[in-house]
Amino acid sequence: GENVEQHPSTLSVQEGDSAVIKCTYSDSASNYFPWYKQELGKRPQLIIDIRSNVGEKKDQRIAVTLNKTAKHFSLHITETQPEDSAVYFCAALAGGTSYGKLTFGQGTILTVHP
Partner 1 sequence: GAGVSQSPSNKVTEKGKDVELRCDPISGHTALYWYRQSLGQGLEFLIYFQGNSAPDKSGLPSDRFSAERTGGSVSTLTIQRTQQEDSAVYLCASSLARSGGQFFGPGTRLTVL
- Interface residues with partner 1 (CB under 8 A)? 1, 31-32, 34, 36, 42-46, 49, 89, 93, 98-107
User: Please, what is the minimum distance in Å from the beta carbon of residue 63 to partner 1?
Assistant: 17
User: Please, what is the minimum distance in Å from the beta carbon of residue 74 to partner 1?
Assistant: 18
Output 43 or 60, the one with its CB closest to partner 1: 43
User: Please, what is the minimum distance in Å from the beta carbon of residue 42 to partner 1?
Assistant: 8
Is 54 in contact with 8 (CB distance < 8 Å)?
no
